[in-house]
Amino acid sequence: MHNDFSIFAQRRAALVDIIKSSFGVEQGAIILFAGFEHEHYRYRQESSFYYFTGIQEPATILWLDLDGTATLYLPNYGDKRAVWMHTWLLPTQEVADQIQVDEIKLLGALSQTFEICPLLHTQEYEIFLQRLRMNVDQSRHLFTMTKCMLMEQRFMLNQLAAHIPSLHWHDAGPHIAKLRRKKDQSEIEALYKAVNVTMIAHEGATKAIKPSNYEYEVQAAIEYVFTEAGSQGAAFPSIIGSGINSTVLHYRENNRQMEMGDLVVVDIGAMYDQYCADLTRTFPVGGKFTPRQREIYNIVLECQEFIAGIAAPGYWLNNKEQPDKSLNHLAREFLKQRAHYELPHGIGHFLGLDVHDVGSSAEPLHEGDVITIEPGIYLPHEELGVRIEDNYWIVTGGNVCLSEQLPKSADEIEKMMAE
């Protein structure tokens, strides 16, 4: 839990301002829905909800009135939840003050169990529904994310629409994405932490990369570090692809036995304070690249260095109207010329609360963006795949590589494996 929730209050104030000025309205509300927990998965808060609240609790709803007041609605679990789950978010003014919202209210009547599911049992939502209906009746403008959301949030919106037929939402999504794209100091610090843990995990990986070891042993070495370092674990399923699997972009089985002479693509990221790292290195099983592997490796590395050398405000991650200013097009052109190779994925993506973070590619890069640069060459007929990925913070005139300290040249990689 955070000690200081003021950053979340500041972000809500910025959202209210941007919505009021963009839509030219004074009255209304922005309503954001948390996700729902499921026993198959560890709960991970929906990123935009987290960005504006700092709250990890599922099934909660933020009502952010355009007059600036914020209400957090909690399911009414009575005393059931505390028996099963660690519970601190209670509907008291003391907790409201701590998390810097104006008030915490219950959604409705007592829930049947210690969890609530996305099926709208109306009595469990009756207090929230009353307020929503009153706002609809008064024709106040209502904003939420209408497109970019989790499935269960979409499900919730559909059920609310069925319940209140005249309910109309304006889409706050693009404005939220714009705010989330520009990282503030606290976010850069969290990203640095996630990157640091991930760099240590790559070092741990090298110890488990040996002929006859299995890919999952490498995964275990990595995720041990993630857990030991106090991170929230893997930001996405760890990709440990050896041999032919090095050519499968999102390979996740991680169950092949590695052989001498294989390459292994290790594409991993820790999540720290809810922020994701995403770093890829390619290692030779046995510790030495073959001349052919080194040749391909060096082309990928040169491509990454070329793109990292120009990534700056004014360039686009991807813009087909302006290919000479588009990192994606420039990387493709580079690989086409150097290796007659067609890159099968984008050169990079925004990074933040989500591993593939929000942000419009129609906007050029700005100070405060964080992106990945991750060229690769994948040759299934040679069972040879190479990807190199680092994380970059865009600043005035250029960028700062957050993962600068992770060894990268072929010689450094061999040295890292020998240590």
Q: How far lies 132's CA from each of 28, 50, 65, 294, in Å?
A: 11, 22, 11, 61
Q: Residue 226 CB, nearest distance to Mn ion (Å)?
A: 17
Amino acid at 94: E
Q: Is 217 in the site for ligand GLY (CB under 6 A)?
A: no
Q: Is 46 in the site for ligand GLY (CB under 6 A)?
A: no
Q: Residue 202 CB, nearest distance to Mn ion (Å)?
A: 14
Q: Residue 279 CB, nearest distance to ligand GLY (Å)?
A: 9
Q: Is 326 in the site for Mn ion (CB under 5 A)?
A: no
Q: Is 247 in the site for Mn ion (CB under 5 A)?
A: no
Amino acid at 230: G
What residues between 301 and 340 interact with ligand GLY by CB under 6 A? none
Q: Residue 64 CB, nearest distance to Mn ion (Å)?
A: 32
Q: Which residue lies nearer to ligand GLY by CB, 46 or 354?
A: 354
| CA pair distance 340, 342, nearest whole angstrom | 7
Q: Is 143 helix (H, G, I), strand (E, B) or coil?
A: strand
| CA pair distance 416, 419, nearest whole angstrom | 5
Residue 83 and residue 51 in contact, taking contact as beta carbons nearer than 8 Å:
no
For residue 60, give every residue at least 6 positions away whose Cβ sits within 8 Å of its Cβ, in sequence order, or none.
34, 49, 53, 72, 73, 74, 75, 89
Q: Is 278 in the site for Mn ion (CB under 5 A)?
A: yes
Taking alpha carbons only, the member of 357, 360, 339 closest to residue 349 is 357
Tokens 């690769």 correspond to 376
Q: Which residue lies nearer to ligand GLY by CB, 132 or 353?
A: 353
**Residue 53 C-alpha from the chain's centroid:** 16
Q: Is 372 in the site for Mn ion (CB under 5 A)?
A: yes
Q: Of 278, 354, 357, 390, which lies in the binding site for ligand GLY, with binding defined by CB under 6 A?
A: 278
Q: Which residue lies nearer to Mn ion by CB, 152 or 278?
A: 278
Amino acid at 99: I
Residues in contact with ligand GLY, counted by CB under 6 A, come to a total of 3
Q: Of 37, 124, 267, 369, which lies in the binding site for ligand GLY, with binding defined by CB under 6 A?
A: 267
Q: Is 390 in the site for ligand GLY (CB under 6 A)?
A: no
What residues between 119 and 158 interact with ligand GLY by CB under 6 A? none
| Residues lying near ligand GLY in the complex (CB under 6 A) | 236, 267, 278
